[in-house]
C-alpha cells in the first residue's frame, strides 16, 4: 500500500505543478515567452501589458488621481498630525486587504483550473471569486457594493474634470464642462481590458507625480498666507468626514482582480499594491502637508487645492496633466462595469473592439447624469468612502478570507499560505477581525454619519444640478462715479 500511496502523491504533486504553470499565464493564454517572441514592436510596447511592472503602474496610477487635490481639504478637517497618521494607517490597511483579494483570486482560480475551467475569453471579476468560494449571497453583495463604488468613482472623476478645467477657463460654467468631459471620458469604451492600459498607466503616474510635486513646491514658494490659522480638528463631523476621505484615498483596489487577471503571472501580485502604496505616500504626504501649512483653515471652504494656488504656467500644466489622468482613471474605474454589462448582454467574448465599444456606451450615460446632479467635489469622496469603500475593499475581503479558510482542510489545501511576516493563521484571523471591526465602527458608522451630514449640507446650500459648485460669486458692477456739477 505504501508504494501506491507514494505514486498517488506524486500524481497530485505533478497536477498541482501543472496548475501553477497554467495559473501563471494571462487571461488570453499568452505567457511572458510569447510577449518576448513579439520583440519590441510598437503594438506590444504600448498595448500588451501584463508584467509585474505593468500591474504596479496600474495600481499606483489608479490609487491617487483627483483625490490628491482633496487631501489638503481633509488635512484642514483633521489637523496635520491626524492627517499624516491616518494616511499611513489606511495606506497599510488597504495594502493588507488588497493582499487578501489577491490570495482569494489565486484560490478561486486554482480550484477552477482543477475542474478544467478555461478563462481564455473570460475576465474573472471579484463577485465571481466570491461566488465560487462562498456562494451566491456573497456574489450579490460583492456585485452590489463593487458596482456602486465604481459607478460613483467614475462620477467623481467626471466632476473633478469640470472642477479643474474651470481654473484655466472660467468662460464656461462647471456644468457645461461636465457635458464636454463626459463625451471625452466616453472614449474609454475602446480600451478592451487592463491588459491594454500599459502606456496609459505609465503616463498617468507621471502626470500625478508632476501634479503632486507642483502642489508641494508651489505651496512652499507661496508661503503662509497672512494670518494663517490651523485650528483643525474643531468638529467631530469635519474630523470623520476627513478621515473617510483618506479611507477612500487608499481604497482604490476594487479593480485588483481585473488587474491580476491581465497579468502573465498573477501570483506575482502579492506585494505589488503595497509597493505602489509606498510610492503614493511620497506624493500625498508632502503635497497635502505643504498646502495645509500654507493656507490652513482657508481649505475648509476650498475642497480643490488648485483654487488657492496663484495662476501660473506651472499650475496650468498641472491642471491639464491632471485632466488627462482623470480621463484615464475614469477608464480604470469603468472597465469592470463594462465587463459586467458585457456579461449581462452576452457580448463579453466578442472579438470586435467596435462592437464592444458600442455595447458599453449605455454604462457611461448614467455616470454622466449623476455627475450633473451631484457636482460636489470634496463631500462626495467622503460619502462614497464611508458607505461603499468601507465594505467593498475593507470589510468584505477580510470577512471573505476568514470564511474561506475557516476549516482545517481549507487551510491545509490553501493555494497560498500565510505570508512570511505573519506566518500564523490565528494571527491572520486577528488582523482581519480588527480590520472588520475598525472599518465597521469608525469608517462606516462614524464616517457615514459625518459624511452624509456634510453631503446633505452641501445639497441644502447649493441644491441639486448646481450650475457652478464653489465658483467665485460674480462681482456687482461698480457704481458710476458722481459727476461734478459746474455752476
In this structure, the dihedral spanned by the alpha carbons of residues 20, 22, 28 and 32, taken in order and rounded to 10 degrees, is 80
Band of residue 38 on the pLDDT scale cut at 50, 70, 90: very low
Measured between alpha carbons, how far is 315 from 323 in angstroms, rounded to an integer? 12
pLDDT at 56: 94
Band of residue 383 on the pLDDT scale cut at 50, 70, 90: confident
Measured between alpha carbons, how far is 458 from 255 in angstroms, rounded to an integer? 30
Angle at 87 between CA 82 and CA 90, to 5 degrees: 115
Measured between alpha carbons, how far is 64 from 252 in angstroms, rounded to an integer? 8
- Which among 376, 389, 399, 396 has a CA at the least distance from the CA of 471? 376
Band of residue 473 on the pLDDT scale cut at 50, 70, 90: low
pLDDT at 25: 44
Measured between alpha carbons, how far is 346 from 315 in angstroms, rounded to an integer? 45
pLDDT at 164: 81
Band of residue 42 on the pLDDT scale cut at 50, 70, 90: low
Measured in degrees and rounded to the nearest 5, phi and psi for residue 78 equal: -95, -30
The more confident residue out of 31 and 278 is 278
In the block, residue with C-alpha cell 474643531: 234
Contacts of 144 by beta carbon, 8 Å cutoff, 6+ apart: none
Mean pLDDT of 34-59: 70
Domain ranges of the chain: 49-460
- What is the DSSP secondary structure assignment for residue 444, as one 8-state letter? I
Sign of CA dihedral 433, 438, 444, 445: positive
Measured between alpha carbons, how far is 250 from 90 in angstroms, rounded to an integer? 6
Measured between alpha carbons, how far is 430 from 444 in angstroms, rounded to an integer? 20
The more confident residue out of 486 and 202 is 202
Identify whether the C-beta of residue 110 lies closer than 8 Å to the C-beta of residue 415: yes
Measured between alpha carbons, how far is 277 from 160 in angstroms, rounded to an integer? 22
Band of residue 17 on the pLDDT scale cut at 50, 70, 90: very low
Residue 377 has pLDDT above 70, yes or no: no
- Which bin fits 464, alpha (ψ -120 to 50), beta or left (φ > 0)? beta
| Ordered DSSP codes for 364-377 | HHHHHHHHHH---H
Specify the pTM: 0.85
Alpha helices by DSSP H, listed for 346-395, are 353-373, 377-384
Identify whether the C-beta of residue 332 lies closer than 8 Å to the C-beta of residue 62: yes
Measured between alpha carbons, how far is 224 from 228 in angstroms, rounded to an integer? 6
Measured between alpha carbons, how far is 207 from 203 in angstroms, rounded to an integer? 6
- What is the DSSP secondary structure assignment for residue 414, as one 8-state letter? -
83-117 pLDDT, tens digit each: 999 999 999 999 999 999 999 999 999 999 888 88
Measured between alpha carbons, how far is 387 from 402 in angstroms, rounded to an integer? 22
Identify whether the C-beta of residue 97 lies closer than 8 Å to the C-beta of residue 268: no
Mean pLDDT of 221-228: 93
Which range is least confidently modeled, 219-228, 309-318, 346-355, 358-367? 346-355
In the block, residue with C-alpha cell 490628491: 68
Measured between alpha carbons, how far is 58 from 53 in angstroms, rounded to an integer? 8
- Exposed, middle or buried: residue 403 (CB in 10 Å: 0-12, 13-18, 19+)? middle
CA-atom Rg of the chain in angstroms: 24
pLDDT at 474: 52
Measured between alpha carbons, how far is 41 from 43 in angstroms, rounded to an integer? 6
- Which among 344, 377, 373, 432 has a CA at the least distance from the CA of 100? 432
Helix or strand holding residue 471 (H, E): none
Measured between alpha carbons, how far is 22 from 357 in angstroms, rounded to an integer? 30
Measured between alpha carbons, how far is 462 from 376 in angstroms, rounded to an integer? 9
| Whole-number average pLDDT of the chain | 84
Q: Give the fold, CATH level 3, of 49-460.
A: Amino acid/polyamine transporter I (1.20.1740)
Share of the chain above pLDDT 90, in %: 49
| Ordered DSSP codes for 49-113 | --SHHHHHHHHHHHHSSGGGGTHHHHHHHH-HHHHHHHHHHHHHHHHHHHHHHHHHHHHHHHHHH
- Exposed, middle or buried: residue 336 (CB in 10 Å: 0-12, 13-18, 19+)? buried
Tell me the three cell numbers of residue 227.
494670518
Measured between alpha carbons, how far is 433 from 420 in angstroms, rounded to an integer? 20
Amino acid at each position: 500500500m505504501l508504494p501506491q500511496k507514494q505514486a498517488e502523491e506524486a500524481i497530485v504533486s505533478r497536477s498541482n505543478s501543472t496548475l501553477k504553470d497554467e495559473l501563471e499565464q494571462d487571461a488570453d493564454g499568452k505567457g511572458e515567452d510569447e510577449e518576448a517572441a513579439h520583440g519590441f514592436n510598437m503594438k506590444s510596447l504600448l498595448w500588451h501589458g501584463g508584467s509585474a511592472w505593468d500591474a504596479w503602474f496600474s495600481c499606483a496610477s489608479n490609487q491617487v488621481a483627483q483625490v490628491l487635490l482633496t487631501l489638503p481639504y481633509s488635512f484642514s478637517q483633521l489637523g496635520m498630525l491626524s492627517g499624516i497618521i491616518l494616511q499611513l494607517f489606511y495606506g497599510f490597511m488597504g495594502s493588507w486587504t488588497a493582499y487578501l483579494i489577491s490570495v482569494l483570486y489565486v484560490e478561486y482560480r486554482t480550484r477552477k483550473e482543477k475542474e478544467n475551467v478555461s478563462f481564455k475569453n473570460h475576465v474573472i471579476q471579484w463577485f465571481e471569486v466570491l461566488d465560487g468560494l462562498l456562494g451566491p449571497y456573497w456574489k450579490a453583495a460583492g456585485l452590489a457594493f463593487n458596482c456602486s463604488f465604481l459607478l460613483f468613482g467614475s462620477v467623481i472623476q467626471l466632476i473633478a474634470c469640470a472642477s479643474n478645467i474651470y481654473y484655466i477657463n472660467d468662460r464656461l460654467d462647471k456644468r457645461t464642462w461636465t457635458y464636454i468631459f463626459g463625451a471625452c471620458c466616453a472614449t474609454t469604451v475602446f480600451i478592451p481590458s487592463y491588459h491594454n492600459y500599459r502606456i496609459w498607466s505609465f503616463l498617468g503616474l507621471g502626470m500625478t507625480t508632476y501634479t503632486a510635486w507642483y502642489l508641494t513646491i508651489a505651496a512652499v514658494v507661496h508661503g503662509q498666507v497672512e494670518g494663517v490659522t490651523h485650528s483643525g480638528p474643531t468638529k467631530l463631523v469635519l474630523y470623520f468626514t476627513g478621515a473617510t476621505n483618506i479611507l477612500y484615498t487608499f481604497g482604490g483596489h476594487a479593480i485588483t482582480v481585473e488587474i491580476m487577471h491581465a497579468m502573465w503571472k498573477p501570483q506575482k501580485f502579492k506585494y505589488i499594491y503595497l509597493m505602489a502604496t509606498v510610492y503614493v505616500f511620497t506624493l500625498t504626504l508632502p503635497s497635502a502637508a505643504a498646502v495645509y501649512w500654507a493656507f490652513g483653515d482657508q481649505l475648509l471652504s476650498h475642497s480643490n487645492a488648485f483654487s488657492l494656488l496663484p495662476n501660473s504656467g506651472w499650475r496650468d500644466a498641472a491642471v491639464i496633466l491632471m485632466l488627462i489622468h482623470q480621463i484615464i482613471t475614469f477608464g480604470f474605474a469603468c472597465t469592470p462595469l463594462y465587463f459586467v454589462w458585457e456579461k449581462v448582454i452576452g457580448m463579453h467574448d466578442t472579438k470586435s473592439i467596435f462592437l464592444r465599444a458600442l455595447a458599453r456606451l449605455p454604462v457611461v450615460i448614467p455616470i454622466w447624469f449623476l455627475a450633473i446632479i451631484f457636482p460636489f467635489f470634496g463631500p462626495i469622496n467622503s460619502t462614497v468612502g464611508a458607505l461603499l469603500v468601507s465594505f467593498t475593499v475593507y470589510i468584505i475581503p477580510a470577512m471573505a478570507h476568514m470564511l474561506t479558510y475557516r476549516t482545517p482542510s481549507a487551510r491545509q489545501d490553501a493555494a497560498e499560505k500565510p505570508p512570511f511576516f505573519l506566518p500564523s493563521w490565528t494571527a491572520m484571523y486577528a488582523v482581519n477581525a480588527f480590520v472588520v471591526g475598525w472599518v465597521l465602527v469608525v469608517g462606516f458608522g462614524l464616517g457615514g454619519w459625518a459624511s452624509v451630514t456634510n453631503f446633505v449640507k452641501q445639497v441644502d446650500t447649493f441644491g441639486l444640478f448646481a450650475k457652478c459648485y464653489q465658483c467665485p460669486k460674480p462681482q456687482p458692477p461698480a457704481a458710476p462715479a458722481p459727476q461734478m456739477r459746474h455752476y
